[in-house]
Structure 1
Amino acid sequence: MFSLLSMGNPWGKARGAFYGWWMVAVSGFIMVITAVPVFQAIAVWSVALEAQFGWSRTQLGLALSFTRIEGSITGPIAGYLVDRMGTRFMVFTGLLILTAGFFLFSQVQNLWMFYLAYFIMSVGQGQAGWITVMTLLNHWFVRHRGMAMGLAMMVMGVGALILVPSIAWLIDPEADRLGWRRTAEILAVVALVSAFVLPKVIRNKPEDVGGYPDGVPPVPAASEEGEGNDEIELTIGQALRTQAFWTISFGHGFGSMVVLATMSHLGLLLQDVGYGVQTAAWVITVQTAVSIVFQFIGGWLGDRIPKNIALFIFTGIQGAGVVFLTLGSSLYYFYIFAVLFGIGFGGRTPLTTAIRGEYFGRASFGKILGISTVPMNFLLLIAAPLAGFMRDELGDYDMAFLLLAGLNTLGAVLFLIARRPKLEHLIEAGAAN
């Protein structure tokens, strides 16, 4: 389509390994430079912005809500485009948009400029990030889908383990270091360079290079054995008629509300009880370190037991961790939160995507994943400002996090009751209509 995306692949001659594992590494790195600074580091950005501009918790929380408006609008578009245009195009254009967003963020002088910059950053990470790379991995893996997605999330976790404390150290408002503006400019340069490098190594599907998912030719006899592992291929219309589409979408949404609120307000909560930005970074680091391990465990487990059951377990553990944020100001409670939240969030993260691939197939995965983010993003729209508003009105975060923990439990139950679709039932239902 254009010359950049037709350039040679420097890894193309790699021997002795299924090329899909290179896609896992690249996918993880893409999420490091997109999701980590935009979402996982929001807790430390917020402390620096509050120190400079004096904005309220509600105002800071609204920034993530604007990103969810973006997600509701662009999620389905990104899903459609990645199925039609391919991952390479999406990564290139998304990282260019992210570059512009980081640069504008570095120039912020008022609240509305901050909102605009964060909206653009979110558009860029949304186009290059989760939907795009999960669609890529869903094409490359079937039997090892959960493990592949878990490993990619582990790569992102390792990146977050390094990047979040580094950002916190660089932008600490109590220290005279690089500052948040120069740090944002550095991230803009990283995104720009990556936009021209990463598309060279990406291949959209194994079939594009004469291969097969998992690196293994399909075995026709498997369907005759009735093992229950056969791939189902649903259209977007068929997926929308299933119970699983809606229970997974809303289960993911309710389970993610507490994630978004925690990412947005954890640093501010720690500041409320007398701790600084470096302490917040260490709590996030512990949570991230635990989640790295359980991203692999969750993906591995999801390839061996029903994914809906694994999601129920891990989402429940995530909610239990959040309750510890309401028990007092002792740092001990925050580290218990970090461990439990890391187990739950880490374990469920690859499974929320892998279950969609298992239930709905490869052919329309990008479209299905994009549409399924709409109800999730509408729920996420209220998460961060709700927590900020309740803190501003009540004086602390206790009721906000207890409410979100309850909604998280509802999400766990919705995952549990998600039933795997049967294609013959959908065909019969379509004929009846």
Structure 2
Amino acid sequence: MTTIADPHLDGRYAWLRLAVSVLAATVASVGMWAVILVLPAVQAEFGVGRADASLPYTATMLGFAAGNFWLGRFVDRFGIAVVLTAAAVALAAGFGLAAVSRNIWDFTLAQGLLIGVGTSAGFGPLLADVSHWFRRRRGIAVATAACGNYLAGAIWPLGLRGILAEDGWRAAYLVIAVICLAVIVPLALMLRRRLPVAAMASGAPGGPAQPMAAGFSPATLQWLLALAGIGCCVAMSMPQVHIVAYCADLGYGVAVGAEMLSLMLAAGIVSRLASGLLADWIGGVRTLLLGSVLQGLALLLYLPFDGLASL
């Protein structure tokens, strides 16, 4: 009778699936952060300015956006396991081709068409899949899955720091290619089980009248959230994308910048988990408004301060 009693939702397997999803997202999301780490080296090797050196990240994000949309459609049809496996192949190919690129344009194409699209499988499509397995704890479950993206940013910079220092960015990209293929595919195979249709129907958040509670249709709410996401991510990406190069410009060094990026993203993990718990308590809209205010205050602090401690 009730969705809470449904054994498929909020059960032991759902939490196990969430743990596997977080691991997969942590590996797949390397595409968002690797390009930030190698930005100073790529800029120097290809002899381009900072604006041109930022193009690969722009291409990565465009591929990431397109991938979230199209791979989401494929997940609906084929399931997350198939999509993650294809993403692992795309990431391995993308990092491999980027490692042998001869100029900034080859590097940018590899980042956008393969790495960006492949990385997207570890975010939106994976979050959507996780949401189907939870009802009572959906907020914290989705927030936990989203932490894979930030775990990647906290772990990969530290893990790749030695390779970047000793062997250069091309060697680091080849290592990433091997790891993506060797780790993501087995994890994808663990997610082959799909939620029964009856359980998915019972897991809906409410009856047909609920989507109109805010006065908007589901499609309108979807577009409003998309616009809000663009505003949030632009504000988020500026300090994250440029913090490594910014620290190098200020004389603190690339290694310090990588540590700062890891610290920033580790704090983001705490923030996302807290936001998930808060959303289950006060609702998503109030949580978004609170987060937006705090984000605006944080950005203002970058204007008057550029010291190591303050950054």
TM-score strictly above 0.5: yes
Cα separation, partners in 2 of 1:111 and 1:135, compared to 1, 3 Å: same
Within a 5 Å distance, the mapping from 1:284-299 to structure 2 comes to 284-299=261-276
Percent of residue pairs bearing the same amino acid type: 23
State the match for 1:192 in structure 2: 181
Within the alignment, does 1:94 sit opposite 2:73 as a pair? no
Cα separation, partners in 2 of 1:154 and 1:67, compared to 1, 3 Å: closer
Within the alignment, does 1:134 sit opposite 2:110 as a pair? no
* Mapped contact 1:270–1:280 kept (Cα < 8 A): yes
State the match for 2:19 in structure 1: 25
Distance 2:145 2:62 in 1: 26
* Cα distance, 1:218 vs structure 2: 5.7
Within the alignment, does 1:253 sit opposite 2:191 as a pair? no
Q: Residue 134 of structure 2 aligns to which amino acid in structure 1?
A: F
Q: Residue 109 of structure 1 aligns to which amino acid in structure 2?
A: R
Equivalent residue pairs, number: 295
* Cα distance, 1:298 vs structure 2: 0.9
State the match for 2:253 in structure 1: 276
Distance 2:129 2:249 in 1: 42
Within a 5 Å distance, the mapping from 1:238-387 to structure 2 comes to 239-240=218-219, 242=220, 244-334=221-311
Distance 1:149 1:106 in 2: 33
* Mapped contact 2:35–2:56 kept (Cα < 8 A): no
Q: Residue 89 of structure 2 aligns to which amino acid in structure 1?
A: L
Within the alignment, does 1:81 sit opposite 2:74 as a pair? yes
Distance 1:72 1:21 in 2: 27
Query: For residues 83-110 of structure 1, what are the alpha-carbon distances to aligned partners after superposition, in whole Å with 9 as ceiling and x for unaligned?
Result: 1111111011111111100101111221
SS at the partner of 1:333?
coil
Distance 1:140 1:161 in 2: 27
Q: Residue 150 of structure 1 aligns to which amino acid in structure 2?
A: A
* Mapped contact 2:163–2:171 kept (Cα < 8 A): no
SS at the partner of 1:268?
helix
Cα separation, partners in 2 of 1:56 and 1:129, compared to 1, 3 Å: same
* Cα distance, 1:135 vs structure 2: 1.5
Query: For residues 117-161 of structure 1, what are the alpha-carbon distances to aligned partners after superposition, in whole Å with 9 as ceiling and x for unaligned?
Result: 1111112112x2212211211211122111112222335434432
Structure 1 spans left out of the alignment, 5+ residues? 1-16, 224-228, 335-433
Within a 5 Å distance, the mapping from 1:174-189 to structure 2 comes to 177-189=166-178
Structure 2 spans left out of the alignment, 5+ residues? 1-10, 212-216
Within the alignment, does 1:230 sit opposite 2:223 as a pair? no
RMSD of aligned Cα (Å): 2.6
State the match for 2:4 in structure 1: none
Distance 1:20 1:329 in 2: 44
State the match for 2:144 in structure 1: 151
